[in-house]
A and B are shown apart, each in its own frame.
Chain A
Amino acid sequence: MTGEARSSGSDESFEQLLREVARAPSIDPDEALVAQVDLVGRTLAHFRVVERIGAGGMGVVYRAIDEKLQRPVALKVLSPRAVRDREARELLLREARSAAAVNHPNIAAVYEVGEAGEAGETGETGNVSFIAMELVEGTTLRAQSKNGPIAPDALLHFATEIARGLARAHKQGIVHRDLKPDNVMTSGDGQVKILDFGLAKAVTSGETSSGQVAGTPAYMSPEQAMGAAVDARSDVFSFGVMLVELATGTLPEGVRKRAPAEIAARAPMPFAPIVARCLQHEPADRFADGDELLAALRAAMPSAGETKPAPTRRKGRVFPLVVAAGAAVVVTATVAIGVSSRRARDVHDPRLPASSAPPPVVTKPTPTLRRLTANIPADPIAHAALSPDGKSLAWSDATGLYVQTLGAPAPRAIELPSGGPSAVVAWTPSGKRLYASSTDALIEVDLATMATTEIAKGRFSGLAVAGDGKHIAFADTDRVGYLSLESPRDAHPLVQKKDGCFISEVAWSPDGGRIAYVSHCFDSLAATAIESVDLDGHAPQLALADPRLWNDSGYGGLVWTKAGELVYPLAEWLPAEPGSNLHALHVDPKTGAAIGSARQLTHLVGVNASRLSTDAEATRIAFVRFEVQTDVYLGALEDGGRRLHPPTRLTLTDRNERPSTFSRDGADVLFFTDRNGSFDLYAQAIAGGPARPLVATPAWETMSQLGPDGASLLFWQFPAVAAGEAVKPTLMRAHLDGTGNAPLLTTLGFSHPAGAGRPQPWEMRFRCPRAKDASCLLSERDGDALVFTALDPFTGRGKERFRFAHATAAQNLWDLSPDGRRLALPSANGPITVRTLEGGASFEVSLPSGCDPLVPTFASDGAGLFVSAECQDEAFRLYAIRFGEKPTLLWEDPPRLLLETEASPDGKQLAIAVKTSDDDVWMLQDW
């Protein structure tokens, strides 16, 4: 009944009549077959049916009296859907009998299974299959969860009781297969009973010919969803899903696809780490069975010795942005009475009812996030540092350098002597001075007088003051080193940066003997690493190599805590929600070698963290939280492609969308988008209106091109994998409307899936010409070489055309002219080579000094290029280069990043990928 119907008039009889007019009864046909036979008052075998108490997927449930034992039972009369044929019926009865062997207070007992006609006769009702079960008075967890999240203390009780039941059943080799809130009953006194143990398999196994699998999809483990064999670990997975649902009040989506930690982050402590393990996609990574699960829950429960009086029962909370630290956070307190009663129940006679309601639990303060700055997207935070006492923040942005006491109404601006934006900032251990870089110098700031002094020259990308307050570690454009504040102009370089890499972060070891740094390598993601070097300049020691140290901000973050741990962010890769989380790794300050394995500190969802700093005790971490989003913009070209009307946004979601090509008639831009979670191909009419999906599957589809025949749609498809897994993309062919997908070839190389806004494969690319008689071109990595082969939309990879023996990453982003005769090949810091494929003649075109090309795209007449560029003043610009003419600036819109472009076939429109970011400082406390 809707609100409008209720409130539309004062006449109640009218409302009633309205409801009757609108009434369109319906009935589940299967249920109807059972419902038509009213069993109330009749007897099945020795069960006298008293009343109908419910109906579900399996059939109708009646309250009945076992006339032999004179006890009430729940009599489940199975629907035809549950038992379609004799084989299925027999299996169901067999499974139910085996479940009946499990005798445990947390499992509703199965008393009897069988078939009967009415009162032992056959005929009137025909043979009916039934299960007589323990009658549990109370409500299901589903019903309870309708009121919102279940409070953590009550949930811990329920979870423990369920795990206890699972432990017993698993020990006897029985798997539930359909664990969900509907199948757990709770009574008013806190008793918990799991219903329908083992029945799911039997109910659906009769339908395996249709491929249906037992269970409820939203709760199914990956192996169960695939129809593979399941064991106790599948129940553990379902348990995890249920726990998140009950803790948050909403069913988590994509449990088999998204990163477990990401889903677990929604659950409050102490459930998050348990849920994260339950939801592991690999069964081997989960708790082995209910027993292990129970042990974990018990560990999360407070011990009897750590009690506090007068607890406050906390309401259930849903954390919009939950941070759940791993081992760093422990539950420390609870109530003596609660623990005693719970412990007593561990050994109590299972035949006795539970004696008390679930006890409340008090947990340590939850980690919280606090926003410290509120800059607009056009003025992103460049760098920030938390003071050693954790009470002040220094930060720099495009407008200057500031320091602010947290909670104070306004920051204090610091005038830098040489002007210009500041790149990085660091505090001295005393908190009395700051060191900040200006455009070309290192500045000392006395916070008492706000006096500034230039103490050294250079362009610094990382600064850290040693614990003794006498030395500063730095990273600049070429190297890592340190300088002494007594003679700051004498730098001591220790490590030269590697080719194709840059260094953005430095951190001192707690003893001041080593400097750690992050080396970001754009030529090879896999080479991106944290290393450290001692002050004597011995060879650097690798601490961690992980391509996830790359993120979309271009910055990392590094802190070396007093406890000897390096703390750094690692990106969450798709299919997880784009973002990053903090990890910690013990590193030997003497050798720089990692000790043990890293642990994940945060479970942030959709939050990118970079540029870390901590207070002296590392109880608070400040970081720059950045958000990136890429959109397709469209602008009208004029003057033969030499001018561009200010582009306007074409795609209108808050997700990442990038243009791939135009339709042949120029009416649509084909683009790829993560609006559905994975990347999919869509078409957007430039005249406006809703975007049309072309290929949208759980796998990622990216970077489409139209075949020269004009009838094929070619695109990369990446299999859906767990975050961080290497994948081997497949080049697919489909009809123009996206139907009829078929694989064409699998690339030779591997590619790491990257974060939002950068889904393209780094090691292969293909482009197709518009000319019908020309062929598409495919490039793939073979070691250092970039190998170009012909690509046919029907036969796939053709003959090798040429190769570059030592190709740089920049060269991956080449383009093919519309007539298929020329190749535009960018270089990292130099000109773009335009090479004629037949004959090999080539010429070079250059951007204005100080700008490096990113992605060149041929104009539709092939007589020029559109080139996105990154310039030394940190602006991103879009140029038009007509061959034989000087480049002309088409567009810049700082601070937005302009990426690839696509020109319409008639040369009148240009689609552009535009990336926007928004950076602010946040602080994580009590982590």
Chain B
Amino acid sequence: MEGAREAFEAELHLLHAQGRLREVATRVLGEYGGEVLGFLANVTGSRDEASVVFSQVCEDLWVGLPAFRFGCSLRTWMYTLARNATHRARLEPFGRKRVAISDHPELLEVEARVRTTTLTYLRSETKDRVRRLREELEPDDRTILVLRIDRDMSWNEVAAIMLGDRVEDEATRTQHAAWLRKRFERIKERLRAMLAREEAARRA
């Protein structure tokens, strides 16, 4: 799996170097769109909101691709975009107009296909209790849980995503990764506390 992903990333790096950006965007969306949308659905707690944010991610992908320097993998970058877009969506609740990729029907087609199939697949899979716990957590906490536990990313990858485009230097990332580990422990403590509360309420 890792080998296949590395090979995929290497191929797209090559296409990127050749300036075949539309192809890169299409294939990145096809490959990672589903998992990023699944991630968004978890973090936003809403399929509709995830769908809107996903559009923003697609746009950001398209706009940012020419300047992307492969300082991280495209997959990590997609999650960075997704995390940033989620953040922006919270700050700008009325959203922004989508423009960039509408000129490229094949990109829109992939985006639509990802959205339709993934969201259909996601329907009715979340249990109420789990949803409640998720809603109690901060979006960033949810982000950390998904990336670390479900997506099995290294702490440095999680740090890269959480820091976004702000920091390129490895030392800062490593430092942030150490901080994230502590935060991860605190999230778990919070969840335990929530569960204890639930349990107490149920007994009462």
Q: Could you tell me if A17 and B152 are in contact, using CB atoms closer than 8 angstroms?
A: no
Task: Please name 30 pairs of A and B residues whose Cβ atoms are closer than 8 Å in the assembled complex, sorted by A.
Answer: A2-B149, A4-B184, A8-B188, A17-B130, A17-B195, A18-B149, A21-B130, A21-B142, A22-B146, A22-B148, A22-B149, A24-B42, A24-B151, A25-B121, A25-B122, A27-B38, A27-B121, A28-B31, A29-B33, A29-B110, A29-B116, A29-B118, A32-B34, A32-B121, A142-B3, A182-B4, A210-B23, A211-B15, A211-B23, A251-B7
Q: Could you tell me if B7 and A693 are in contact, using CB atoms closer than 8 angstroms?
A: no
Q: Could you tell me if A23 and B30 are in contact, using CB atoms closer than 8 angstroms?
A: no
Q: Could you tell me if A9 and B39 are in contact, using CB atoms closer than 8 angstroms?
A: no
Q: Determine which of B41, B125, B169, B188 lies in contact with A18 in the assembled complex, contact meaning CB atoms within 8 Å.
A: B188
Q: Could you tell me if B121 and A14 are in contact, using CB atoms closer than 8 angstroms?
A: no
Distance of A689 Cα from B127 Cα, bound (Å): 46
Q: Could you tell me if B34 and A27 are in contact, using CB atoms closer than 8 angstroms?
A: yes
In the assembled complex, A20 has its CB within 8 A of some CB on chain B: yes
Q: Given A24-B146, A690-B168, A696-B69, answer yes or no on A17-B191 (Cβ-Cβ < 8 Å).
A: yes
Distance of A24 Cα from B120 Cα, bound (Å): 14
Closest 8 CB pairs of A and B: A26-B35, A26-B38, A22-B149, A24-B42, A690-B169, A217-B11, A218-B7, A22-B145
Distance of A22 Cα from B134 Cα, bound (Å): 8
Q: Determine which of A27, A216, A690 lies in contact with B118 in the assembled complex, contact meaning CB atoms within 8 Å.
A: A27
In the assembled complex, A5 has its CB within 8 A of some CB on chain B: yes
Q: Given A1-B149, A20-B130, A21-B133, answer yes or no on A30-B30 (Cβ-Cβ < 8 Å).
A: yes
Chain B 36-48 near chain A by CB (<8 Å), digits 1 or 0: 1111011100000
Q: How far is the CB of A676 from chain B (nearest CB, A)?
A: 10
Q: Could you tell me if A17 and B133 are in contact, using CB atoms closer than 8 angstroms?
A: yes
Q: Given A23-B150, A218-B6, answer yes or no on A698-B117 (Cβ-Cβ < 8 Å).
A: no
Residues of B in contact with A (beta carbons under 8 Å apart)? 3-4, 6-8, 10-11, 14-15, 17, 20, 23, 26, 30-31, 33-39, 41-43, 67, 69, 110, 113-114, 116-118, 120-122, 125, 127, 129-130, 133-134, 137, 142, 145-146, 148-152, 168-170, 181, 184-185, 188, 191-192, 195
Q: Could you tell me if A27 and B151 are in contact, using CB atoms closer than 8 angstroms?
A: no
Q: Which residues of B contact A218 (CB under 8 A)?
A: 3, 6-7, 10
Distance of A698 Cα from B69 Cα, bound (Å): 13
Q: Determine which of B14, B43, B185 lies in contact with A8 in the assembled complex, contact meaning CB atoms within 8 Å.
A: B185
Q: Could you tell me if A29 and B113 are in contact, using CB atoms closer than 8 angstroms?
A: yes
Residues of A in contact with B (beta carbons under 8 Å apart)? 1-2, 4-5, 8-9, 14, 17-30, 32-33, 36, 81, 142, 182, 210-212, 216-219, 225, 245, 251, 689-690, 692-693, 696-698, 739
Q: Could you tell me if A28 and B191 are in contact, using CB atoms closer than 8 angstroms?
A: no
Distance of A24 Cα from B15 Cα, bound (Å): 30
Q: Chain A residue with minimal CB distance to B112?
A: A29
Known contacts A8-B188, A18-B191, A210-B23; 7 additional CB pairs below 8 A are: A20-B127, A24-B41, A25-B121, A30-B30, A32-B117, A690-B170, A698-B17
Q: Chain B residue with minimal CB distance to A210?
A: B23
Chain B at the A interface: mostly helix, strand, loop or mixed? helix
Q: Could you tell me if A251 and B113 are in contact, using CB atoms closer than 8 angstroms?
A: no
Distance of A694 Cα from B71 Cα, bound (Å): 13
Distance of A698 Cα from B191 Cα, bound (Å): 48
Distance of A698 Cα from B181 Cα, bound (Å): 37
Distance of A517 Cα from B137 Cα, bound (Å): 76
Q: Given A26-B34, A27-B121, answer yes or no on A21-B23 (Cβ-Cβ < 8 Å).
A: no
Q: Which residues of A contact B20 (CB under 8 A)?
A: 211
Q: Could you tell me if B195 and A14 are in contact, using CB atoms closer than 8 angstroms?
A: yes
Q: Determine which of B6, B120, B168, B192 lies in contact with A14 in the assembled complex, contact meaning CB atoms within 8 Å.
A: B192
Q: Could you tell me if A689 and B169 are in contact, using CB atoms closer than 8 angstroms?
A: yes
Distance of A141 Cα from B113 Cα, bound (Å): 33
Q: Chain A residue with minimal CB distance to B116?
A: A29
Q: Could you tell me if A28 and B34 are in contact, using CB atoms closer than 8 angstroms?
A: yes
Q: Which residues of A contact B195 (CB under 8 A)?
A: 14, 17
Q: Which residues of A contact B129 (CB under 8 A)?
A: 17
Distance of A44 Cα from B25 Cα, bound (Å): 36
Q: Could you tell me if B7 and A2 are in contact, using CB atoms closer than 8 angstroms?
A: no
Q: Which residues of B contact A33 (CB under 8 A)?
A: 117
Q: Which residues of B contact A4 (CB under 8 A)?
A: 148, 181, 184
Distance of A588 Cα from B181 Cα, bound (Å): 69
Distance of A23 Cα from B41 Cα, bound (Å): 10
Interface centre among A216, A217, A697, A739, by most chain B C-beta atoms within 10 angstroms, is A217
Q: Given A21-B130, A24-B38, A218-B7, answer yes or no on A29-B146 (Cβ-Cβ < 8 Å).
A: no
Q: How far is the CB of B131 from chain A (nearest CB, A)?
A: 9
Distance of A698 Cα from B17 Cα, bound (Å): 9
Q: Which residues of A contact B39 (CB under 8 A)?
A: 24, 26
Q: How far is the CB of A537 from chain B (nearest CB, A)?
A: 57
Interface centre among A2, A5, A29, A182, by most chain B C-beta atoms within 10 angstroms, is A29
Q: Which residues of A contact B191 (CB under 8 A)?
A: 14, 17-18, 21
Distance of A210 Cα from B35 Cα, bound (Å): 24
Q: Chain A residue with minimal CB distance to B114?
A: A29
Q: Determine which of A22, A27, A739 lies in contact with B117 in the assembled complex, contact meaning CB atoms within 8 Å.
A: A27
Distance of A19 Cα from B130 Cα, bound (Å): 10
Distance of A697 Cα from B142 Cα, bound (Å): 37
Q: Determine which of A24, A217, A693, A697 lies in contact with B10 in the assembled complex, contact meaning CB atoms within 8 Å.
A: A217
Distance of A210 Cα from B30 Cα, bound (Å): 14
Distance of A25 Cα from B118 Cα, bound (Å): 9
Q: Which residues of B contact A21 (CB under 8 A)?
A: 130, 133-134, 137, 142, 145, 191
Q: Given A18-B191, A21-B145, A217-B14, answer yes or no on A26-B118 (Cβ-Cβ < 8 Å).
A: yes
Q: Which residues of B contact A217 (CB under 8 A)?
A: 7-8, 10-11, 14
Q: Which residues of A contact B14 (CB under 8 A)?
A: 217, 225
Q: Chain A residue with minimal CB distance to B149?
A: A22
Q: Could you tell me if B35 and A24 are in contact, using CB atoms closer than 8 angstroms?
A: yes
Interface centre among A24, A26, A245, A697, by most chain B C-beta atoms within 10 angstroms, is A24
Q: Which residues of A contact B185 (CB under 8 A)?
A: 8
Q: Determine which of B6, B26, B31, B151 lies in contact with A251 in the assembled complex, contact meaning CB atoms within 8 Å.
A: B6
Distance of A33 Cα from B125 Cα, bound (Å): 18
Distance of A1 Cα from B145 Cα, bound (Å): 11
Q: Determine which of B35, B122, B150 lies in contact with A19 in the assembled complex, contact meaning CB atoms within 8 Å.
A: B150
